[in-house]
Amino acid sequence: MQVLVLAGGLSAERDVSLRSGRRVAEALRTARPDWQVIERDVDATLLAELAADAPDCVVPLLHGSAGEDGAVRDVLECLGLPYVGSRAAASRLAFDKPVAKTLVRRAGLATPEAVALPHATFRELGAPGVMAALERGIGFPLVVKPARGGSALGVSIVREAAELPAAMVGAFAYGDVAMLERFVDGTEVAVGVVETPDGPVALPAVEIAADGGFYDYAARYTAGTTEFHVPARLDDAVAKAAAEAALTAHETLGLRDWSRSDLIIDAEGTPWFLEVNVAPGMTETSLVPQALAAAGIDMGAQMAALVERAVARV
């Protein structure tokens, strides 16, 4: 079996992707020493190499717009190559946060009220008018984030109107559309989902307690800056509700093989859906590897099972 792990790319999350790819490749080599596992960046020579020497399976670990918007997966499908993870169409739905929130809300999940605001609209309407409308419609505090992206890049918590213009500039630095979402105070958790022969299964929830109170890029990928509790310190009923929310998001959006949903658990124990990831980070500080370990599942064995699942689909 020849397995190609795609990592890197040109998105703002390139470094994280490279770390994820390296760790997954090493885990696969350990779990399946009989396989040939190759790590590969994305460049103009990739498609020619794939056409000349097609691997048995591709594991796309490209984070951000380069890998989670479905484009690379579309190309892999055109080439007839099996790959681990959600299909291109489902990836596009999940990667667009306002679209994903609309769909999971229709499925019955709680998700904070939000407005998607393109850069041109914000500029044309003017900051004062937009801030007044937001204060009436959503209220402060709120969270400003790029509508498409990950790793908390460009994300800000805005507690008063004066902070909004700078937060919008930060979000627009990573995309043309910003999403402004009602802030929900509570416990931040991440719930991974992996598919098995018996169907999708939720992994133990990972509770996130960032030292600065905000799980930003530095808190995600700098060891020692965030405390994790696995499984999360939740009542059994709340933990079950969080698991069901992640499974509902996975199934509603038509995801495949694996995903990770990010949730906030409020004081009443309600899980609020924030977003879902189709190519979860797999670095030393990432959440899905911690959840797999808590469930007693070897990461390499799980990834190998997903590879075999992908190959069997062809």
Domain spanning 114-182 has what CATH number? 3.30.1490.20
Which pLDDT score, from 0 to 100, does residue 215 have? 57
Catalytic residue list contains 256: no
Q: How many CA atoms lie within 13 A of 70 on its CB side?
A: 14
Catalytic residue list contains 136: no
Question: DSSP secondary structure string, 206-274?
Answer: EEEEETTSS--HHHHHSTTSEEEESS-S--HHHHHHHHHHHHHHHHHTT--SEEEEEEEE-TT--EEEE
Catalytic residue, candidates 68, 275, 300, 309: 275
Residues of the chain with CATH 3.40.50.20: 2-91
Which pLDDT score, from 0 to 100, does residue 278 have? 93
Catalytic residue, candidates 188, 221, 261, 309: 221
CA 210 from centre of chain:
18
Which pLDDT score, from 0 to 100, does residue 134 have? 81
Which pLDDT score, from 0 to 100, does residue 132 have? 83
Catalytic residue list contains 217: no
Domain 185-296: CATH superfamily, name plus number: ATP-grasp fold, B domain (3.30.470.20)
Domain spanning 2-91 has what CATH number? 3.40.50.20
Catalytic residue, candidates 151, 259, 261, 286: 151
- Average pLDDT of adjacent 10-residue blocks, the chain of 314 residues: 93 87 97 97 92 95 81 93 96 94 97 91 81 84 85 81 86 88 94 95 93 56 73 96 98 97 96 94 91 96 97 90
Catalytic residue list contains 151: yes
Residues of the chain with CATH 3.30.470.20: 185-296
Residues of the chain with CATH 3.30.1490.20: 114-182
Catalytic residue list contains 261: no
> Which tokens go with 252?
């509603």
Catalytic residue, candidates 8, 9, 11, 13: 13
